[in-house]
Amino acid sequence: MNSFRLVASIASVLFLATAPARAFCLFGCEPTNDDARKVFENLIHKKFDPDAQIQNFDVTRFWRLDVEGAGHAGVEFYFTAKVLFPKGANLDCKPEGPDNAVKSGCSASTYYSTTIQNKMITDRQYIEPGKVIEFKDETRFDESGGRWKGQDGNSY
């Protein structure tokens, strides 16, 4: 019987050592840097181009939020990222003519963001093919029903 317990204990230890940490998170687990990157990637693909490639993603600050009056927790990730746009983005928005005129629904702004609400550019932005854009951005998760909802609308 002791050898059975020993084998069972070793098997349990090996299972715990190799299983992902999230598998043991039953409640209150916070989103990770990888989750923040995934949200950013989803938003880049939706807002700019599905073929965009994140070359670098570094979280510069993680901030826990007490969302007063809302009755739930939140977390924010501040990050810098470099994104390659091999085919460019919103090519129909390329400024044209001697005055670099911008079409309706397009923005001439060269400030690129996916989530910063106070500087959000809602019109489509032209990015030339092959360009690498540096983002200094943030993303937020709100706790809801034991899960964390990202700004891309997905739960993590």
C-beta separation of 132 from 112 below 8 A: no
Residue 113 lies in a domain: yes
Average pLDDT, the chain: 83
- Which tokens is 36 given? 């923040």
Residue 4 lies in a domain: no
Give the count of alpha carbons within 13 A of 78, CB side only: 5
Residue 96 lies in a domain: yes
Residue 14 lies in a domain: no
The pLDDT of 26-45, averaged and rounded, is 90
Helix (H) or strand (E) holding 14: helix 2-18
* pLDDT: which is higher, 145 or 17: 145
Q: Containing domain of residue 108, as a range?
A: 28-150
Q: In this model, does residue 115 exceed pLDDT 70?
A: yes
Q: Which of 37-41, 46-50, 87-91, 96-100 has the least mean pLDDT?
A: 96-100
Q: How many domains does one find in the chain? A: 1
Residue 8 lies in a domain: no
DSSP state, 120? -
